[in-house]
Amino acid sequence: MTHTPVQFPEGFLWGASTAAHQIEGNNTNSDWWVKEHSTGTNIQEPSLDACDSYHRWDEDMDLLASLGFTDYRFSVEWARIEPAEGHFSRAELAHYRRMVEGAVARGLRPMITLHHFTVPQWFEARGGWTAEGAVELFARYVSACAPVIASDVSHVCTINEPNMIAVMAGLAKRGEIGFPPAGLPFPDEDTTVAVVAAHHAAVKEVRAIDPSIKVGWTVANQVYQAEPGAEAVTAAYRQPREDVFIEASRGDDWIGVQSYTRTKIGADGPIPAPADVERTLTQWEYYPSAVGHALRHTAELVGPEVALIVTENGIATDDDARRSDYYAGALNEVAAGLEDGLNIQGYLAWSALDNYEWGSFKPTFGLIAVDLETFERTARDSAKWLGSLGRTRELPRLAD
């Protein structure tokens, strides 16, 4: 049985997301650039030119707009805007301002992420997020972004996936490399406190720039699913890795819900997915329903006042038909959530482009393929289909 499509609510965001370091190329002043050229990491290859989007952002936007998308989430790079502590680059601020205006001129509403995993080298060298004064330094940077976001920007994300920042800090502190086969390493608690404080400070700065900007942050949802009897274990496992960050968004205008797969939890903790499940190129279980669970869990914690926006969702695959299938399954979940009255205000896929997946170009998440030698962009069929839904303003509601 098929159901009638669900109409997008008024103002619903329909787009795709990227992050500066993953697409711009030559982000040489960032902490990641240093890591990529260091030994003793699990980084397989450096980002180098990435997709050269620093110079080709107009092509990216032309394509997204022509596909039918109405929104584009991209990030501005702190390491470029504040290359040395206290020195702000007018040229880089003007660069990002041109991007904002370029998006608007093409009919794309820009959602701006102020921090997506990378920090300037000088910030890392002085001790990163847990060093004294880190929160104030971030707040000052946010305030310096005023020329970029003060007009034409309806949504600002302060920090992308603070929970992953704390998880990575936990790994680094313990001198560990790589993730366990299931679940996430324990986050560094000092980093958790610091990024929550940085977010709250940043929200104030953004509202001071323009109180009409809708501000929030995005959280990585692992979709923890309790095996029978393991409900309490699951809740305890999830709290420091996810819930503490979701709860910190109370009082924000919206929260970004980002999910890709699920993690089952038994009495002894995370259970690796069985060997025979379908896996994506990141080795995650193919699980399009993840987004529905993530939306419902987030709504339970933040209540109806904080809008939910899917700010990332997708898969790395070399089979684009699987990508389309994944999005169809995911949208079914979003439509069901809307029908159930969840305050969902947008859906932005990850990712607009094949890009640098934090250590390797191999996991291809892109709706748009990128030739890493010529930088030629080619929209995949999944992009054409997903983009076209922006024109109909309808979400498919597929058979259950």
Binding test (CB under 6 A) with ligand BGC, winner from 19, 291, 349, 368: 19
Interface residue with ligand BGC among 103, 164, 167, 338 (CB under 6 A) is 164
Query: Is 350 an interacting residue with respect to ligand BGC (CB under 6 A)?
Result: yes
Q: Quick one: which segment of 85-93, 158-166, 236-244, 383-391 binds ligand BGC (CB under 6 A)?
A: 158-166
CB of 218 to ligand BGC, least distance (A): 7
160 binds ligand BGC per the rule CB under 6 A: yes
Residues 215-234 that bind ligand BGC (CB under 6 A): 220
Q: Select the span of 76-84, 156-164, 178-186, 222-230 touching ligand BGC (CB under 6 A).
A: 156-164
Out of 31, 60, 205, 312, point to the residue binding ligand BGC (CB under 6 A): 312
Helix axes 290-302, 320-339, angle to 10 degrees: 30
**How many residues does this entry show for the chain?**
400
Q: Which helix (H) or strand (E) element contains residue 349?
A: strand 344-350
> In whole angstroms, how close is the CB of 258 to ligand BGC at the nearest point?
6
For residue 205 the two structure tokens come to 């700065």
For residue 357, the minimal CB distance to ligand BGC (Å) is 5
- Per the CB < 8 A criterion, the answer to whether 265 and 227 are in contact is yes
The Cα–Cα gap between 106 and 116 comes to 24
Distance from C-alpha of 210 to C-alpha of 180, rounded to nearest angstrom: 42
With CB under 6 A as the contact rule, which of the stretches 159-167, 237-245, 321-329, 331-339 interacts with ligand BGC? 159-167
Contacts of 240 (CB under 8 A, 6+ apart): 186, 187, 189, 192
Q: Which of these, 162, 168, 181, lies nearest to 243 by C-alpha position?
A: 162
Q: Of 19 and 302, which has the nearer Cβ to ligand BGC?
A: 19
Nearest distance, CB of residue 272 and ligand BGC, angstroms:
18
Binding mask 351-390 toward ligand BGC (x if CB under 6 A, else -) reads ------x---------------------------------
For ligand BGC, which is the closer residue by CB, 121 or 258?
Answer: 258
CB proximity list for 362: less than 8 A, separation 6 or greater: 44, 281
Q: Name the residue with tokens 């095996």.
A: 227
Token pair of 327 as six digits: 């999005």
Tell me how many residues contact ligand BGC (CB under 6 A): 10
DSSP code per residue over 139-173:
HHHHHHTHHHHTTT--EEEEEE-HHHHHHHHHHHH
Give the contact letters, 245-264, x = binds to ligand BGC (CB under 6 A), - = no.
Answer: -------------x------
Whose Cβ is closer to ligand BGC: residue 22's or residue 29's?
22
Question: Among all chains, which residue has been given the structure tokens 């109405």?
Answer: 70
**Can you read off the two tokens belonging to residue 117?**
């995993």
**Tokens at 400, concatenated:** 């259950």
| Residues in contact with ligand BGC by the rule CB under 6 A | 19, 22, 160-161, 164, 220, 258, 312, 350, 357
